[in-house]
Chains A and B, each alone.
Chain A
Amino acid sequence: MRRRLPQIVCGLMGILLLILYFSGHPIARSLNLLVLVEYYQIIFAFTLLLGAVSFVKVNLKGIERREDRPYRVVALLALVLMPVLALIWGIKGDSPFMWVFDNIQVPMQSTVFALLAFFVASASFRGFRARSVAAGVLLVSALLALLSRSDLGGFIANHVSPLAEWLRDYPSMSARRAILIGIGLGSLTTSVRVILGIERTWLGGWK
């Protein structure tokens, strides 16, 4: 029963949504809306609360064990700060909540993202080796794409860019298309397996 009930609920929800997708009947449409808005969105919102609570728990335990104490305190204070600001002053454009978001959170996040530019450089230096024909093709098409997106004019603009565009529009697009089809099939079978209860990994364990 501990596994059977969730499995049945999961299967029923899946079949319900599958049928609702194809039905144009007003009752079916409003039922669809009910499941998507009320059930899906609300349950998901609760899972985020769960995440926050478990983050707090893990860090409180860490503080007790004196592991990385100052950093964990910073993280917890920051977590509490946002709801407190929102509660007192609201979340409109000029509120302290948005000030913290715009001037602390956004710059830090953008900077973590910008680290990527550096990692692209080091990975290019280390990893892009023409070890085999396939690796060579990878290398050449990367070089062509890079050149075509740089404003160098002349030979590049007249000859390299059209070639790179052609590679993008046809060979590259066809590979991406095949991957889409393949993953589409994979997703399809996984979804069917989940609904039929053959795929039970999400209940812990695969057997």
Chain B
Amino acid sequence: MDLATGVAAILTLAVFSFLYRDNPAYKVAESLLIGLSIGYFLVITWNNSLMSLLFKPLFGDGRLSLVIPLGLGLLMFGRFHSKTVVLSRLPIAVLIGAGAGAAIPAMLGARTMAQMSATVQPLWSESNSFNLSGLIVLIGVICTLAYFYFSREHQGGLGRAAKVGTWFLMIFFGTTFGFTVMSRMSTLIGRVEFLLVDFLHLTN
């Protein structure tokens, strides 16, 4: 067994030990993981963003306009002093504003309108049969929207629609749960495979 497998196996077991209870082995693994992952992010961000988008063009090619984002970025560090904390709101404002502006058309078009449009289907298909699934989708969408109607108490017709909406929601949650279990088990299979095959050589 090589060093890499040994190290990985010990750390794998240390993390699994949390299932019994919190313990020093888990705490070491946790601290190591947090530290390494922040370090990894730093390196990747430095290489792929700061170097390639900022420092190389600014100092290499002399693109002086980049001084502005550089300055805005540095203002983030105003957070470390109570007097300069307000400065850090400026770069945050750029991030939030730009994000909100870009979100509006996407939310309106790709999300709301496209999904509405896909809900509309002829209920009588060309082969002269009734389109039950299409009707169910329509009912499902409308009743679920009724569940998310807040302005009035859920009574009467609205109440009934909202109740049906809850059932549709529950079908969705249940189905999703089934698929998600599949995903989660795959991850565990991956780790067990590593322990049994690479570490213990019990099977191949």
Q: Is there a direct interface between A and B, measured as CB atoms under 8 Å apart in the complex?
A: yes
A27 within 8 A of B: no
Expressed in whole angstroms, the minimum distance between the Cβ of A41 and any Cβ of chain B is 6
Q: How many residues of A contact B (CB 8 A)?
A: 121
CB under 8 Å from chain B, chain A span 70-86: 70-72, 74-83, 86
Contact B169 A10 (CB under 8 A): no
Q: List 11 additional contacts besides A50-B77, A74-B32, A172-B175; criterion CB under 8 Å.
A: A10-B93, A14-B98, A35-B98, A91-B47, A104-B32, A107-B194, A170-B136, A171-B140, A172-B172, A191-B100, A195-B104
Contact B93 A6 (CB under 8 A): yes
Contact A50 B79 (CB under 8 A): yes
Expressed in whole angstroms, the minimum distance between the Cβ of A167 and any Cβ of chain B is 6
Q: How many residues of B contact A (CB 8 A)?
A: 110
Known contacts A18-B105, A103-B8, A110 near B187 by CB under 8 Å: yes
Expressed in whole angstroms, the minimum distance between the Cβ of A104 and any Cβ of chain B is 6
B200 within 8 A of A: no
Q: Which residues of B contact A (CB under 8 A)?
A: 4, 7-9, 11-12, 15-16, 18-19, 27-47, 49-50, 53-54, 65-66, 68-70, 72-74, 76-77, 79-80, 86, 89-105, 107-108, 111-112, 115-116, 118-119, 133, 136-145, 148, 165-182, 184-185, 187-188, 190-191, 194
Known contacts A55-B38, A99-B4, A146-B178, A43 near B69 by CB under 8 Å: yes
